[in-house]
Amino acid sequence: MSDSHGTYFIPEPSRWPLVGSLALFISFIGGGMMLNGSGFGTFILGLGIGAVIYMFCGWFADVIGESLAGNYNKQVDISFRWGMSWFIFSEVMFFAAFFGALFYIRVFSVPWLGGEGSGFTTNAFLWPDFKAVWPLLMTPDMTLLDDKGLPLASSFVPIKGIIPAFDIPAINTAILLASGATVTFAHWALQKDNRAGLCWWLAATVLLGFIFVYFQIAEYAHAYHDLDLTMNSGVYGSTFFMLTGFHGFHVTMGAMMLLVILIRAMKGHFSRQDHFAFEGVAWYWHFVDVVWLGLFVFVYWL
């Protein structure tokens, strides 16, 4: 516990929380309407997202202002650390849900459908021609035949090919690992009061982040156009896009957060002792990095 008790900074009433809730509310309404097929919903969603961004800018501007004004003592800083750590932990659990789904599908549901273990009758009576293989190129319903022996219509699109691990994904792995290193170099530079080093290493990190995202988008385009690997190609496509998609989204967010940190660094914010915003974003970046390693191993490679 710190000795600076009694001066814990309690902010004045603020409108940002309410604006934030309202902004999310509008986004959700818009998103819901959009999914129900209303074009107007897309507009409302746009409006809501705009409001969310406005809220973030406003809220963080306040926080940055308070930080620069020296309102945050050691104890407040520790609160931020706890807060960020547990936020990242919640993100870990979010990804855990999807990794769990992936494992369940690979270890249980697909083998059962293929007749392994307790799935013997399932396979024999419902999907007699289905073979469990991973990656799952043919979904169970693609193996069904009608009375005349012709294939029945499937609700999914067969996959022509998958993305090999040791191609773009491997390069992306290298990129993210490198970015993990550069952000650490930036931190070392900051600790040595080397402002130029800080900015350059940060810039390199942001750049690597965006290159990663670029490759990811190219890979998606390839998957959709050339491989017929889509969200709609059965459970392989489902897990593939769900996991890589949410990860890609997190990389994008992380890169943007790093960009903000870079701009602040260039403006001369942060000091050797006092730079939690930088560290928080760096933790986040490492977290995104680790998730990618899991993805690389379990989605692309094995």
Q: What does the DSSP assignment read for 36-94?
A: TT-HHHHHHHHHHHHHHHHHHHHHHHHHHHHHHTT---HHHHHHHHHHHHHHHHHHHHH
The one segment of 95-103, 160-168, 259-267, 270-278 that binds another protein by CB under 8 A? 95-103
Helices (H), the chain: 16-35, 39-68, 74-104, 110-113, 120-121, 168-191, 195-222, 234-266, 276-295
22 binds another protein (CB under 8 A): yes
Question: Which CB, 18 or 174, lies closer to another protein?
Answer: 18
Q: Interface with another protein includes 155 (CB under 8 A)?
A: yes
**Cβ count within 10 A of residue 7:** 11
Q: Is 220 in the site for another protein (CB under 8 A)?
A: no
Minimum Å distance from CB 177 to another protein?
Answer: 26
Please, which residue, 6 or 149, has the CB nearer to another protein? 6
Q: How far is the CB of 287 from another protein (least distance, A)?
A: 13
Position 87 contacts another protein (CB under 8 A): yes
Of 209 and 234, CB closest to another protein: 234
User: Is residue 279 involved in binding another protein (CB under 8 A)?
Assistant: no
CB of 125 or CB of 302, closer to another protein: 125
Both tokens assigned to 25: 């509310």
Binding to another protein by residue 185, rule CB under 8 A? no
Read off φ and ψ for residue 51, nearest 5 degrees.
Answer: -65, -35
* Residues 123-152, mask of contacts with another protein (x by CB under 8 A): --xxx--------x--xxx-----------
Rounded Cα distance, 212 and 252, in Å: 9
Q: For the chain, how big is the Rg over CA atoms in Å?
A: 24
- Contacting residues for 246 by C-beta, under 8 A, at least 6 apart: 94, 95, 98
Q: Work out whether 294 is an interface residue with another protein (CB under 8 A).
A: no
Min dist. Cβ of residue 21 to another protein (A): 4
18 sits near another protein (criterion: CB under 8 A)? yes
